[in-house]
Amino acid sequence: MQIIDFLTNRQSNIPSIILLKGEERYYLNSFFIFLKSSLEVEQRNDNFISIDNDIHFALNELQEFSLFGGRKIIILNDPLFLTAKESLDKDKEKQLLLYLKNPNLDNIFVINAIELTIDKRKKINKLIESQAFLIEFNQLDEKQIFRLTKNKFKKENIDINDDNITHFLAKIGYDLSLLDLNIKKLIAFGKTEQISLSAINSLITKNSQETIFTLSEYINKSEIKKAIPLYKELIDQGQSPIAIIGLLLSQYRLYIQVALSSQSEQELASFLSKHPYRIKLARKQTYGIDSRILFSKYLQLSKIDYQLKTTSIDSIVLFQMFLID
C-alpha cells in the first residue's frame, strides 16, 4: 500500500508487523504521528519507542509488557541487516524468525527500511516481506507534488493560480524537503497580498541544485557572459570553488547517464535514485547534444577539480579557460 493511501484511509486496525520501503521520507513524520495517536495520551511518551539498528533490543521490547499498560509501538530504524552490507548472527536471526512466525499481537513492530536496498536473496528478508504489511514511501511525481502543494494553499485559504504554483515548485526543484519551509513564506505573504510571480521570485531563493542547473545550461549554450557572473555569484554566496565544480561534475554525470539511457523518466529516476523532475530537466537539457561533448566537459571539469586541489591557480581563471576551450 502507498503511504498516501494508508494515511487517507486511516486504518483503525493497525497491523502488528509493518515494513516501510521506498526513497521518499516526506510522509514519514505524518505516519509516526498517526501511529502515536493510536496510543492512549498518557502512554504516548513511554510506549512509542524508536530504536536504531538493534534487533535484539527491539525484540525484547516487543515481547515485554509495558510498565505503563497498553500496547507498545516499536520502530526499528535503519535495519542494515536487511542489506548486503550486514547480517545477523545466528542467535539474533533465530530470535527474529521466531517472532515473525509468532508475533505479539498486542504490540506493533515497524521496520523502517526507507532508503535502504534490501537484499532479496536473504531468507530472513523473504520471511519479513511475506509476514509484514508493506507500506511504500515512493517518490511523488510532479502531478502529485502539485496537488499536495495546491491543497496546502487551499487549506490556508490562500488564493494562488496554478501557473504560480508550478513556478514555485520549479523554483525549489520539486524538492519536498524544501516545500514546507518555503510554502510557509508564501502563505504568510498571501494572507495580506496576492501571490504573484515577482513575489515568489523575491521570497523564494534559488536552491543550489537549481543554480547549478542554470550554470550548466549556460555552459552547454556557450553563454560565457552569463556563466562567469553566475559562477562568481555562487562564490560570493559562500560556496567554495571545489564545491561548485563538484556539483557541476555531479550534474554532468547525470547528463551523461540520461543521454545514454533509453529508459523512461520514471524508470531512470528509480534506477539512479533521483527525483523524476531532475531527470526530466536533464533530458530536456541534453536533447540534441552529442554524449561525447558531455563526456568531454565532464573530463575538463575533473581536470579543474584536480587543479583546484593541487595548485594555487585562481578558480575564476580556470573556469574562464574551461568556458573558452
Q: What residue segments make up the domains of the chain, in order of their start?
A: 3-137, 142-203, 208-324
For residue 105, give the DSSP letter: T
The 3-state DSSP class for residue 292 equals helix
Residue that the C-alpha cell 504489511 belongs to = 133
- Most distant CA atoms of the chain, gap in Å: 72
Q: How far is CA 161 from CA 174, 189, 203, 288, in A?
A: 17, 15, 17, 33
What pLDDT was estimated at residue 11? 66
What pLDDT was estimated at residue 135? 95
What is the rounded distance in angstroms from the CA atom of residue 295 to the CA atom of residue 253? 8
Alpha helices in the chain (DSSP H): 3-9, 28-37, 44-47, 55-63, 90-101, 123-131, 142-155, 162-171, 176-190, 197-203, 208-220, 224-236, 241-260, 265-272, 276-286, 291-310, 315-324
Considering the domain 142-203 in this protein, what is its CATH number? 1.10.8
Beta strand 133-137 with 108-112: parallel, antiparallel or unpaired? unpaired
Considering the domain 208-324 in this protein, what is its CATH number? 1.20.272.10
Q: How far is CA 108 from CA 24, 34, 37, in A?
A: 22, 13, 13
What pLDDT was estimated at residue 273? 76
What is the rounded distance in angstroms from the CA atom of residue 244 to the CA atom of residue 241? 5
Q: Are the beta carbons of 251 and 235 closer than 8 angstroms?
A: no
Fold annotation for 3-137: Rossmann fold (3.40.50)
What's the whole-model pTM score?
Answer: 0.71
Whose CA is closest to 317, among 304, 306, 300?
Answer: 304
What is the rounded distance in angstroms from the CA atom of residue 172 to the CA atom of residue 292? 30
Residues of the chain with pLDDT under 70: 11, 68
